[in-house]
Amino acid sequence: MPLALAGRRFDVAMADELLAWNSRSVFTDEAVAGRHVISTRWVLTEKPGELPQDPPKRKARLVIRGLEDPQKASVVSTSPTVGRASSRLLFATMAVRGWVPRTVDLRTAFLQGLPLDRVAPVYVQPPPQARAPPVTAWRLRKCAYGLTDAPRRWYEAVLSLMISLGYVRVETDHRLFVLVLSGVLVFSVAVHVDDFKYGGVAQQVARFEAALRGAFDVGPVHVGNLTFTGLRITSDTDESSGQVVIAADQDHYLESIEQIDILAERAASRSVAVSTSELTSYRRAVGALLWASGQTQPFIARHSSLLARRFHQAVVNDLLAVNRLVRAARASRGLPLLFRAFPPMSGQRSETVK
């Protein structure tokens, strides 16, 4: 939401953000004379409450305009995020072990990363809401949202904690960590920016949560039913076997994919090239379908990939094809990916499928 249209609704959220910058010692005040000062801007978001009667949730993020950073090309910015295969492997492992999935996210994660590590200092312009003296700039001690190396410094802070707990980083995915004791896997955690998805034996879960709260400012823990990287995760116990069953779906996301409005006379000209506005809608819908196909809808992967190849030469017939695929994806709602442990056959170990 543009700041000019926000009115006073975001005053509390902006005050909370500035308090976070101060309480975490993100900056120090210095004279602005002769400094290269990077500007800042507010990013305001408003989301509906979880229930219809709940008030909307408002968040204000103070973001640095990283494009103005003269050092942006010389800093290390690589920061891994957990892969889809690793997430599925973690769900499968939890089902086999009988672990209920848990998740927790962190507040203002990038402000809690390791201290800024650069040759030259970074100065930013305080927002008017900070009421800083006119000749003052903020010299950053830590990274903040918008800086190129902010995700990296946050990842390094997380990595430091994981190493201190004795976790092993999986070489094929540097956002997946495990703890093995006496040859037995007892804990595993996947990290996606500021979201942690984890499970393990009770003692190790308690140890991890205590360490996480000791190191960072974290939100509430969600157990069993949660959201992670856009997936809705639910867990239950199978009545016949007593084993944990974990389900992952994107029903809410599939519902949000919009079909493309096509007039009847337009649909009759199937070989005619699409207009600029139609092409924008086409790309948006195909992009959404590609995301869904890689997460929970593998049956539409082939068709959505073929449609993506038509981005530069789409015709009206392709618009119709997109709408058919959107309807097919929506029809799959209520059919999640399932992760469960099958009872072992005679002489065999248990297997997990999804």
- Check whether 83 has a pLDDT greater than 70: yes
CB 325 within 8 A of CB 303: yes
pLDDT in tens, 136-172: 999 999 989 999 999 999 999 999 999 999 999 999 9
Higher pLDDT, 159 or 75: 159
Residue with tokens 């919009």: 258
Instruction: With CA atoms as reference, report the closest residue to 119 among 67, 75, 89.
Output: 75
The pLDDT, as a whole number, for residue 49 is 63
- Check whether 84 has a pLDDT greater than 80: yes
Instruction: With CA atoms as reference, report the closest residue to 198 among 184, 211, 209, 183.
Output: 209
Residue type, 318: D
* pTM: predicted TM-score of the whole model, two decimal places: 0.80
- Check whether 42 has a pLDDT greater than 90: yes
Residue count of the chain? 354
**What's the N-to-C CA distance of the chain in angstroms?**
40
CB 328 within 8 A of CB 307: no
C-alpha angle 113-119-120 in degrees, rounded to nearest 5 = 95
What is the DSSP-derived secondary structure letter of residue 83? -
Q: Give the strand pairing for 37-38 and 123-124.
A: parallel
**Mean pLDDT of the 114-128 span:** 92
Mean pLDDT in the chain?
88
Confidence at 64, pLDDT banded by 50, 70, 90: very high
The SS3 assignment for 233 reads strand
Least confident range from 212-216, 280-284, 350-354: namely: 350-354
CB 88 within 8 A of CB 182: no
- Check whether 118 has a pLDDT greater than 80: yes
The pLDDT, as a whole number, for residue 350 is 46
Q: How many CB atoms lie within 10 A of CB 336?
A: 19
Q: Give 64's strand partners.
A: 40
Question: What's the token pair of residue 311?
Answer: 């981005």
The pLDDT, as a whole number, for residue 354 is 40
At 136, phi and psi to the nearest 5? -110, 140
Instruction: With CA atoms as reference, report the closest residue to 158 among 233, 106, 202.
Output: 106
- Check whether 323 has a pLDDT greater than 50: yes
